[in-house]
Structure 1
Amino acid sequence: MSLPHAILTALLEKPSSGLELTRRFDRSIGYFWSATHQQIYRELSRLEAEGHIRALPAELPARGQKKRYEVLPAGRAELARWTAASQDPKPQRDVLLLRLRAAAVVGTAGLADDLRRHLELHGRQLAEYEEIERRDFPAGKDGPQDRLRHLVLRAGIDLETFWTQWLAHAVKELDELPDDGPAQPLAQPPARPSEPERP
């Protein structure tokens, strides 16, 4: 249910066409919620059918003009309801962590190179978020809306900082391992003695 609420948020900030929303999701909105243009257009149709948004009248009667959407009162009410609702944190599920656990029993061949690739990708994402912070949140820009938006961006910055630091540590750990062969199997518990046969 979160994508329609992300779209409602974006449209309340600024009425937009599907193409404009896609560009915003590729840029600023993307640092906390990603979506493909197919997903966005599908949700726009659904939100319009549910009476949460409507297409604005075209400014010029030109063929091929992109429809721009705005949020209706029902859409604002749904977004306010969802924002105020209680939600539990989701359990952490990360394939990379599972692969590291598996490496403990089958060996680490190829894993260090992929960890370095992840480190580079997270480093690039961190640099992008920090550039957004410098551009969009200069000193003195501290109105209530700006502070909340900055808080969301800070979550992205802090998460990417965590991943870059953790991955650098993980690469160092793998580089210090004696070899990348399979680990020794865990010791099995001793077998229970068989009971003597009864006459």
Structure 2
Amino acid sequence: MSLSHALMTSLLEKSSSGYDLARRFDKSIGFFWHATHQQIYRELARMEKAGWIESEAAPDGGKTRKRLYRVLDAGREELRRWVREPSEPMDLRDELMVRFRAEAVMGPLGLDVEIERRLALHEAKLQAYRAIEKRDFPADKLLTREAQIQHMILKTGIMYEQSWVQWSHEALKMLRGAP
């Protein structure tokens, strides 16, 4: 996946300035596709040059260089093309697994401290995802197709964090020799 496709998706949800897009990105797509604000601004310029988006001076921009971006037909076509393109599942590449292997061959290295730290991070993110779910997708509310899709994306994050919490508890139990 490229950052441009993530940005076009976000811009289709709502035309935005680069700053507002970066802030919205951090609170939504940024949960599963990270980009710095500098990367976002560079990519917006590249996408505009490619003819996928256009920008205009923001009405509330005053004397700033604030611009509002929107997706053009060529950008929509590129996004359609990309969505239909097959992609491979992401390979797990986690330094913690290599550390765990080192623990296996060298004996106790104190890895439980790192696992506890990560466990706390995963629990916090899981709690945040569940709060979003409770706020945005209440069980008693009939959801639009768009909201159902957004809920499915959130459920993926919830399941991911749940699996790490469970794994961390099992790993800590094993490392500490508990039955």
How high is the TM-score relative to the length of structure 2?
A: 0.93
The Cα of 1:61 is off from its aligned counterpart by: 6.7
Structure 1 CA distance for aligned equivalents of residues 94 and 119 of structure 2 = 15
1:174 aligned residue: 175
Percent identity of the aligned residues? 47
4+ residue runs over 4 A deviation: none
1:143-182 to 2 correspondences below 5 Å: 143-176=144-177
2:98 aligned residue: 98
Higher helix residue share: 2
Structure 2 CA distance for aligned equivalents of residues 58 and 41 of structure 1 = 16
1:50-129 to 2 correspondences below 5 Å: 50-60=50-60, 62-64=62-64, 66-129=66-129
1:44-55 to 2 correspondences below 5 Å: 44-55=44-55
Higher relative contact order (CA 8 A, sep 6+): 1
Question: Deviations for 1:98-119, whole angstroms, at most 9, x for unmatched residues?
Answer: 1101111122322110000000
Aligned amino acid, residue 124 of structure 1 = A
- Equivalences, count: 177
Matched, 1:37 2:27: no
Larger CA Rg, structure 1 vs 2:
1
Structure 2 CA distance for aligned equivalents of residues 5 and 96 of structure 1 = 30
Shift in alpha-carbon separation, 1:14–1:61, aligned structure 2, 3 A: closer
Question: Deviations for 1:8-38, whole angstroms, at most 9, x for unmatched residues?
Answer: 0000000011111111122122222221101
Equivalent residue of 2:54, what SS?
strand
Contact 2:10 2:25 in 1 (8 A): no
Shift in alpha-carbon separation, 1:37–1:61, aligned structure 2, 3 A: closer
1:7 aligned residue: 7
Structure 1 vs Structure 2 CA RMSD:
1.5
Contact 2:126 2:162 in 1 (8 A): yes
Shift in alpha-carbon separation, 1:115–1:61, aligned structure 2, 3 A: closer
Structure 2 unaligned spans of 5+: none
Structure 2 CA distance for aligned equivalents of residues 141 and 39 of structure 1 = 37
Higher mean C-alpha displacement, 104-113 vs 38-47 = 104-113
Higher mean C-alpha displacement, 113-122 vs 21-30 = 21-30
Contact 2:52 2:76 in 1 (8 A): yes
Aligned amino acid, residue 127 of structure 2 = A
Shift in alpha-carbon separation, 1:148–1:115, aligned structure 2, 3 A: same
The Cα of 1:136 is off from its aligned counterpart by: 1.5
